[in-house]
Structure 1
Amino acid sequence: MHTNQSKEQHSASAIDPKQGMTERFSQYGFILAAIGSSVGLGNMWKFPYITGQYGGAAFFLLFTICLIIIGLPVLLAELAIGRAGRGSASTSLVRLSGKKIWGGFGFISIAGAFIILSYYAVVAGWTMHYAFLSFSGQLFSSSDYGGHFGSFIGSYWPIVWQAVVMLLTGWIVARGVSSGIEKYNRILIPGLVVLLILLAVRALTLEGAGEGVSFFLQPDFSKLTAESALVALGHAFFSLSLGMGAIMTYGAYVDRKQSLGKATLAVGSGDLLYALLAGLIIFPTTFVFGLEPAQGPGLVFVALPAAFSAMPLGAWFGGLFFVLLAIAALTSAVSILEVPVAWVREKFGWGRAGAAAFTAFLCFLVGLPSAVSVGGAVPGIEFMGKTFFDWMDFLSSNIILPLGGLIVTLFAGYFWKGAAKEAGLSTWWFNLWLFMMRWVAPVLVGLVFLYYAGVIRF
């Protein structure tokens, strides 16, 4: 008699050519894993910047609307395609369409996920390094936080932490769906929620925090423009991990009994709650200590450590903050790595462990130029004024992901005839969803693609 783990290891060693992926999430485990995929580092430094720039609560309201009317329908489409196709982002499209050309379209998302993880692991490594420094007290031994950050990213230490991230990510993915991805999301996501609440309470109880809360929650509709609408739509789209094949790949492991509609609402709600709590942490802290929320990575690794140093128990809260970021980065990294791993398993017939080890190592190698270029450890890795890190970010975020999202909307709206049955929606809801996928989502996602590609300017 086999244990559950031995069964999973057996099923992970091969893929049934008729049934596709044979591993399965539990219903609760899938929702946690999908939420883990959507929460990431962007909401901690990109979200405050764009929210402040485009009207505070007015932008947050616009972001929420975009998430509901565009993000959730596309999320449902990716889940339905993944569960019906039971394969990688490439194979599922081929199985459902019967045409090999869709495999090439699906591979765009797989390539995007691989590129994203190559440099995302670098930044995730920064968060782990800072968590260690904060808890050990070393981070606050000097007040020159900008100099410390510059010397760190300008050294070879980011490579070490990048390797740590890829080892952890590869190890979790290698253990399988239920024994790896689901098991660790069951631990990490509740831990993430606890840390979010603790840090939000700490930020909200700072003297003068009300000004930051007011800025975040009081709308300024005069700042809303056509550009802000596209930025809100793009952030809603990317915050759900759409267009990179992650949700589609996770969908391949969803049980037939699970309601995709309810799962979609749960994931969307989790992403929205994370964005809200992130705002309630960042804005009060930045306003109390006179920080500028538009600094991007500089806000997290330079300005906020200065703020934590001025707080009672600052080293402890600073450590919790960077652990929070590390958890968010790791859960996202796991979902991203699973995308190319699923493809490698199908393409070469490898077992899960071998595919995970190979893909993680290759991703680490591709990410090395990003690790040494962003801080100038190896000078000269630039082209047209952008570092290698910048180009990887631009190519994946501004070109590949919007293109991947557009492919999903067109496929679900026009080319796949089994969408109604797989989505499990009533007639009225399905017609509304189909209308969004055919006429609204392609146009808006196309505009986002043109905007981020620099074709549309304001």
Structure 2
Amino acid sequence: MITTHKHPARRNPLRSGRKTVYERWSSPNLFVLAAGGAAIGFNNFWQFPRLAAEYGGGAFLLVYVLCVIVIGLPLLMTEFALGRSGRASPISVFRYLAYRAHASPLWRAVGVMGVLSVFLILSYLSVIAGWVIAYTIRAGLGVFVGLTADGMNAQFSQLVSDPEKQLFWHTLFMTMTMITAGYGVRRGLETVVRYTVPLLLVLLLVLLVYATTTSAFPRAFYTLFDPDFSKLSGAGVLAAMSHAFFSLGLGAGAMLMYGAYLGVNERIPRLSLSVVGIDTITSIAASLVVFSILFTGGVDVVSGPSLVFQALPLAFDHLPWGRWFITLFYALLVIVAWTSSIALAEPVMSWLSERFSMSLRRSAILCGIGAWTLGVITIFSFHSWAFSFRLFGEVKKLGFFDILQVLTAQGLLPLSGILIALFAGWVMKPDAMREALRLRTPWVFSTWLWLMRVVIPLLMLIVLLNIFHLFA
């Protein structure tokens, strides 16, 4: 049982002022939906398909699943366990657990990195989510019907070069996120995920069924599942390792925060397996949909915003009922962004409540204003404030937006993942982690322990050292 202390450095994070820290998930099923919704992100749809196509389909898929088992699942279990052990924001969790383990208070820096990461990611994710909302409405109105490739490119360029339109959609999405987060776990987060995550999966299933009716579905199935090991280079293995880490939202503090709301009797390994399963199945289904649509429409496989905002609407326009199914696809992505952004806001709001004794709604307002302001700067990075810089031989042309991406995805997140593994493996007492994880079988716990102590830090260090090449 956690007790309080009079000395400030020993103060129990549970006494830090935020009432929602005491909240628990109503059921393990809702926890799985929330964590699964947080794990599913844009990368499942606009990065995984290209990686699979480039690095040998089934060969890449096999390596990716192995990386998920070796890196993703153990780290996800660890973040859930650390969060439940501390029951506070990531900063307070590491402060408290380091004190309990008689370790350096500097370990709280891992929590600081996590909170900073999610805050920065939330700011530019909201901008991209705004694009998706705008495209959902445009697709439904038939704006993309009959457009050529140049016309699709012009549509996207017009949107990102118009700060006023982006500002409207960015503000709308940020408001949606913070209103939901401001109602807390039971009335806000659970209410949303109870309906949106099942809807997300249903929409994906509808799109997958639609994909099976296309002439290119057999080719799509073959592209994804046929193993071509001649295409699986070292870069492909690194990409699989990287995607296994980033796809589950690890290192950012969001999963650790969700773990803080777990009941003491919930079995973390089983819940983590469910979350990993949802995320992996989503990536596979999304790849089949993307390949089927692109191949049928005669459009090349690309990745990132080019896929979502240019290639896919062009390909869908060549298919029967394409206007309506591209609208469903964008509606799905809006849900993906919404569930992810709520998870990103949680650690920031929790820390604000602890640090400044704020109410939940005030912390939501302050978090929203701060992230919204950074998002405005990101918007102008595509317009009048754009500037170029060179980093490790790679030219970046989007100024502040590129800086945020480099700082988070290419710096803070992988470094946090390494430090979380080292903290759990070497700083925390093995008996404490065995009890937190409920791993009773000796060999299973020993495997987890040495993955944390040696294997995962080394693999993530390799990813970190090569990450600029991977993102290039």
Q: In structure 1, the residue corresponding to 2:15 is in which secondary structure?
A: coil
Q: Give the distance between the partners of 2:200 and 2:410, measured in 1 at CA.
A: 28
Question: Of residues 107, 111, 115 in structure 1, which corresponds to 2:116?
Answer: 111
For residues 131 and 19 of structure 1, do their structure 2 counterparts lie closer, same or farther at Cα, with a shift above 3 Å needed?
closer
| Alpha-carbon distance, 1:139 to partner | 3.2
Q: What secondary structure is seen at the aligned counterpart in 2 of 1:258?
A: coil
Q: Contact 1:58–1:221 at 8 Å: present in 2 too? A: yes
- Equivalent position SS for 1:138: coil
| CA displacement at 1:153 relative to structure 2 | 0.9
Paired residue for 1:216? Answer: 224
Residues 1:225 and 1:457: Cα distance change in structure 2 (over 3 Å):
farther
Counterpart in 1 of 2:453? 438
CA distance 1:290–1:431, change in 2 (3 Å): same
CA contact (8 A) 2:297 2:319 kept: no
Q: Deviations over 1:324-371 (max 9, x none)?
A: 111111111110111211111111111111101110110010111212
**Cα distance in 2 for residues equivalent to 1:30 and 1:171:** 20
Shift of 1:406: 0.6
* Structure 1 segment 175-190 matched on structure 2, within 5 A: 175-190=183-198
* TM-score for the superposition, normalised by structure 2: 0.90
Matched with 1:3 is none
Aligned mate of 2:411, from 367, 375, 399: 399
1:381 CA displacement: 4.0
Could you list the structure 1 runs, at least 4 aligned residues long, displaced by more than 3 angstroms after superposition: 14-20, 379-385
C-alpha distance in structure 1 between counterparts of 2:72 and 2:82, whole Å: 15
> CA offset at residue 18 of structure 1?
10
Give SS of 1:55's match: coil
Distance 1:392 1:206 in 2: 39
2:5 match:
none
How far apart, in 1, do the equivalents of 2:216 and 2:145 lie? 23
Once the two structures are TM-superposed, the CA of residue 88 in structure 1 deviates from its matched residue by 0.9
RMSD: 1.9
Match of 1:24 in 2: 24
Instruction: Check if 1:378 corresponds to 2:384.
Output: yes
Q: Deviations over 1:394-447 (max 9, x none)?
A: 211011100110111000000011211111111232111111111211110111
Matches of 1:295 and 1:272 in 2, distance apart?
18
Q: Aligned ranges for residues 347-366 of structure 1 at < 5 Å?
A: 347-366=355-374
Query: What is the identity, as a one-letter code, of the residue corresponding to 1:76?
Result: M
Alpha carbons of 1:304 and 1:457: their partners in 2 closer, same or farther (altered >3 Å)? Answer: closer
| Aligned mates of 1:30, 1:212 — CA distance in 2 | 33
* Match of residue 451 from structure 1: 466
Q: 1:17 to 1:61 in 2, by over 3 A?
A: same
Aligned residues: 442
Matches of 1:55 and 1:23 in 2, distance apart? 45
CA contact (8 A) 2:220 2:295 kept: yes
Q: Does residue 1:303 correspond to 2:346, yes or no?
A: no
Q: Measure, in 2, the Cα distance between the counterparts of 1:71 and 1:440.
A: 12
Per-residue CA deviations over 1:260-293 (Å, capped at 9, x if unaligned) read 1111111111111111111111111111122222
Output the amino acid matched with 1:366: L
Tell me the CA shift for residue 297 of structure 1: 0.9
Q: In 1, are the aligned partners of 2:17 and 2:358 still within 8 Å (CA)?
A: no
The residue type equivalent to 2:449 in the other structure is: L
Task: Find the residue that maps to 2:366 and give its secondary structure.
Answer: helix
CA contact (8 A) 1:155 1:372 kept: no
- Structure 2 Cα separation of the partners of residues 15 and 141 of structure 1: 58
User: How far apart are 1:449 and its partner, in Å?
Assistant: 1.1
Alignment of 1:188-337 (within 5 A): 188-337=196-345
Q: Could you say what secondary structure the match of 2:47 adopts?
A: helix
Judging changes above 3 Å, is the alpha-carbon distance between structure 1 residues 355 and 457 closer, same or farther for their aligned structure 2 residues? closer
CA change 1:23–1:219 in 2 (3 A) is same
Partner of 2:40: 39
List runs of 5+ in structure 1 lacking aligned partners: 1-13
Identity %: 34
Return the letter of the residue paired with 1:22: Y
Q: Give the AA of the match of 1:135.
A: G
Tell me the CA shift for residue 19 of structure 1. 11
CA distance in 2, matches of 1:206, 1:364: 41
| Structure 2: gaps spanning 5 or more residues | 1-12
CA distance in 1: counterparts of 2:230 and 2:389, whole angstroms: 38
Please list the CA deviations of residues 36-70 of structure 1 after superposition, one character each: whole Å capped at 9, or x if unmatched.
11001111111112211211121111111100111
